[in-house]
Amino acid sequence: MKIIRNIILTIVVTIILLSTVEAQNRKTITGYQERMPGVNAEIRCDGVRLTRTMVIDSISGWHSGFWITKGNKMEKACWNLRQVDSCIGYELKPGTYYVYPNLKSEYDTASITIWVKDK
């Protein structure tokens, strides 16, 4: 009984450790844009600091395009589906990155999420 318990405990610990390693190798960057009556649209993103070169793995919510900045400098813009395809695999060097969705005139809110993984 003690052997079975130790085996189960070892398996659980291994799964937790592997999950932690995977989580460290993948990061998420999410940005928002919101238009309010009578004021300019507001953009928000907390930003993510990358300590090593990573590549864009997947994108969600990009309906009208998006742009990525590194600090206050434009890094990459993707305005249509063809450009979005070219963004998958795009390398982001170490630094702090922000992502913002393009907001079409007929909408009041938009969001974008990109996932990056180790190169």
Give pLDDT, residue 5: 58
What does the pLDDT average to over 19-41?
78
What is the DSSP secondary structure assignment for residue 49, as one 8-state letter?
E
pLDDT band at residue 21 using 50, 70 and 90 as cut-offs? very low
Give pLDDT, residue 74: 84
- Residue 34's region, left for phi above 0, alpha for psi from -120 to 50, else beta, is beta
pLDDT band at residue 75 using 50, 70 and 90 as cut-offs? confident
Look up residue 118 and give its two tokens: 């180790």
pTM for the predicted model, two decimal places: 0.74
User: Where in the chain are the domains?
Assistant: 27-118
Cβ-in-10-Å burial (0-12, 13-18, 19+) of 110 comes to buried
Q: What is the CB neighbour count within 10 angstroms for residue 56?
A: 22
